[in-house]
Chains A and B, each alone.
Chain A
Amino acid sequence: MKSKKINIKKSTLTTLITIAGIIVAYIIMNTLSNGGFLSYKMQGLLVPICAYAILAVSLNLVVGLLGELSLGHAGFLYVGAYTGAIFTNITADMISNDLVRFILGMVVGGVFAAIFGLIIGSAVLKLQGDYLAIVTLAFGEIIRSVLGNVLYISKDSSGLHFDVNDGSTLNPQDMIAKGAQGITVQRLSTFLIGIILLILTVLIVMNLSDSRAGRAIKAVRDNKIATEAVGISVSKYRLMAFTISAALAGVAGVYYAHNFATLTGTKFDFNFSINILVMVVLGGMGNIPGSIIAAIILTILPEEIRFLGNYRMVIYAVVLIVMMIFSWNPKCIEFRKVVSAKIKSVFKKKNKEVQ
């Protein structure tokens, strides 16, 4: 019994340390920002960092815990962003409190993204590995092309009107979604809201991972045949992981979208999905704090090396490769262990001398 108690503490401890780390980071950044020590560029990055961190954690649920490669995470994000932005637009004159409207918008975005997660999840139930990755990729592109190009929505006193052609049947004055021109959004996202969302996401994913359902999801990853043989439905838990992951991405999408003046589809392309995937892989599959750290680094890095001009993306790629090797090459892991052991032994010696 004793050993189990330690085990429970261990997983709870990781969750607590992660959340404490997020709060400390928030306090530091907030103080710096208030004191005027933060560059304008860095201040502008705070909201995207939170959004990327939430996305990376939510994708880790599918890639790390379920063990399936999903290349369409930007699709779920965009569904959430789109429906959330429409909602906050429509209700602008009904709900006067911005925060309440924004939170409701996130709920709407999350629900719609979850519905899409459920649909995609059921469509790929029989697929695995590369095939599943290709279907999710296609889904992401379809969502972006449809929502970001051909859908026009307007609202007047008689209600909502839709057009999937060129929007000429709608009154331009009442238009909310203007096809490729996107949706005009109010800037509602703040750093604090992002931190709260990130903490909630971390709690949801880590608590889930530590529960009966989470163990079943990880069992699917480790061995599908054995999972069924102990009476656990593989389909059920794959769907659950897909849906929760999509819902969280949808919420992050609403948050991300309300940081811009207009929301267009061009941003949420294949590269966006790959970026999030890189964060998950770099941070470690199934490693939630790792995902957050990778999201922070990979959001700041490309901005900070802008002075390199045309060489920027080359350097970015090189740094990525070096980081990947340093974090995951077995020899490097060994090297790090040796170094940290030496540092520890030095400290121990000093302690003894002091005593």
Chain B
Amino acid sequence: MPMLEVTNLSISFGGLRAVDNFNVKIEEGQLYGLIGPNGAGKTTIFNLLTGVYKPDSGSVKLDGLDITGKSVVQINKDGIARTFQNIRLFGKQSVLDNVKIGLHNIHKYPAIAGVLKLPSYFKHEKQMNEEAMELLKVFDLESDADTLASNLPYGKQRKLEIARALATKPKLLLLDEPAAGMNPNETMELVKTIAFVREHFKMTILLIEHDMKLVSSICEQLTVLNFGSVLAQGDTTEVLNNPEVIKAYLGE
């Protein structure tokens, strides 16, 4: 059974068909790339998968479970976590608290236990701290645990967003242009991080990216979008040598 199975997914905004009959199958443990020129509908597909938009037609199945049309909160609980193209951290809270917010549905205790500082508060907070610090260690952020998230340098903010997404214990991780705004050094480090996340957490990853170097170095399979519909799909090297793809990216 594929981890993610999307069939005939479509959505229109007014007269614009933003995504047209999108199909994809991602196997467990795969690192899958979604590329395409600006405005091709890549982020719209992420928003459809995570429940921000409800599709006009088509279905999304995660690990066999139909999640089409569910709410954003429910889809995260079902196992899809994401990062954003423009980073969305909880800026006025510490790095550690950002990850602990990601753990919100993993370690639960009622609000009253927190107000009265009951034993269950200390028990769960201790577990949360340990788990969050472990995650921060993986991303080499443990020395920044007490820093405000908005005070982190750009590259670390990207990492923190991935750490926060992983804290929700997802089955599938969606990364929306993780290398956007990074210099070549930071991008190389990011490639290592993504590869490590995949190994360490046995994670299935779907990635939107513009940086061809990054895509060709880590994705095994690719889908190329253009004007909302699939232009090419398959193994990375094949797809990147496809004349249609070269035409869409570079013009004739």
Chain A residues within CB distance 8 Å of chain B:
1, 3-4, 6-8, 203-204, 207-208, 210-216, 218-219, 221-223, 225-233, 240, 286
Given that A212-B111, A223-B88 are contacting pairs, would A231 and B105 also be in contact in the complex, using a CB cutoff of 8 Å? yes
Per DSSP, are chain A's interface residues mostly helix, strand or loop, or mixed? helix
Residues of A with C-beta under 8 A to B117: 207
The smallest beta-carbon distance between A254 and chain B, in angstroms, is 20
22 intermolecular pairs with C-beta atoms under 8 Å apart: A1-B130, A3-B143, A3-B145, A4-B133, A6-B146, A7-B96, A204-B115, A211-B114, A211-B121, A212-B100, A212-B104, A212-B107, A212-B114, A212-B125, A214-B114, A215-B101, A219-B93, A223-B88, A228-B76, A229-B76, A230-B76, A230-B168
The count of residues in chain B whose C-beta lies closer than 8 Å to any C-beta of chain A is 48
Interchain CB contact under 8 A, A228 and B72 = yes
Nearest residue (CB) in A for B52 is A225
Residues of B with C-beta under 8 A to A210: 114
Residues of A with C-beta under 8 A to B81: 229-230
Nearest residue (CB) in A for B104 is A232
B126-169 near A? 1/0 per residue, CB < 8 Å: 00111001000000001101100000000000000000110110
Residues of A with C-beta under 8 A to B105: 231-232
Residues of B with C-beta under 8 A to A230: 76, 81, 101-102, 104, 164-165, 167-168
Given that A211-B115, A212-B114 are contacting pairs, would A229 and B90 also be in contact in the complex, using a CB cutoff of 8 Å? no
A211 vs B125: C-alpha distance in the bound complex, in angstroms? 8
Interchain CB contact under 8 A, B115 and A216 = no
A7 vs B97: C-alpha distance in the bound complex, in angstroms? 10
Q: Is B42 an interface residue (CB 8 A)?
A: no
Interchain CB contact under 8 A, B115 and A229 = no
Interchain CB contact under 8 A, B82 and A229 = yes
Interchain CB contact under 8 A, A1 and B96 = no
Interchain CB contact under 8 A, B77 and A212 = no
Contacts between chains A and B (CB distance < 8 A), count: 115
What are the 5 tightest A-B residue pairs by CB atom distance, in nearest-first order? Answer: A211-B114, A231-B76, A213-B111, A226-B88, A222-B90
Residues of B with C-beta under 8 A to A226: 84, 88-90
Interchain CB contact under 8 A, A218 and B90 = yes
Residues of B with C-beta under 8 A to A286: 92
Q: Is B94 an interface residue (CB 8 A)?
A: yes
A219 vs B168: C-alpha distance in the bound complex, in angstroms? 15
The smallest beta-carbon distance between B120 and chain A, in angstroms, is 11
Interchain CB contact under 8 A, B88 and A212 = no
Residues of A with C-beta under 8 A to B128: 212
A155 vs B142: C-alpha distance in the bound complex, in angstroms? 65
Given that A3-B145, A7-B146 are contacting pairs, would A231 and B114 also be in contact in the complex, using a CB cutoff of 8 Å? no
Given that A4-B96, A219-B93, A222-B92 are contacting pairs, would A232 and B101 also be in contact in the complex, using a CB cutoff of 8 Å? yes
Interchain CB contact under 8 A, B92 and A221 = yes
Given that A212-B107, A212-B124, A213-B111 are contacting pairs, would A231 and B88 also be in contact in the complex, using a CB cutoff of 8 Å? no
Nearest residue (CB) in A for B150 is A222
Given that A4-B145, A231-B104, A232-B104 are contacting pairs, would A211 and B111 also be in contact in the complex, using a CB cutoff of 8 Å? yes
Given that A219-B93, A230-B168 are contacting pairs, would A4 and B101 also be in contact in the complex, using a CB cutoff of 8 Å? no
A204 vs B113: C-alpha distance in the bound complex, in angstroms? 11
Given A3-B146, A223-B90, A230-B81, 4 new contacts (CB under 8 A): A212-B100, A218-B97, A223-B88, A229-B165
Nearest residue (CB) in B for A216 is B104
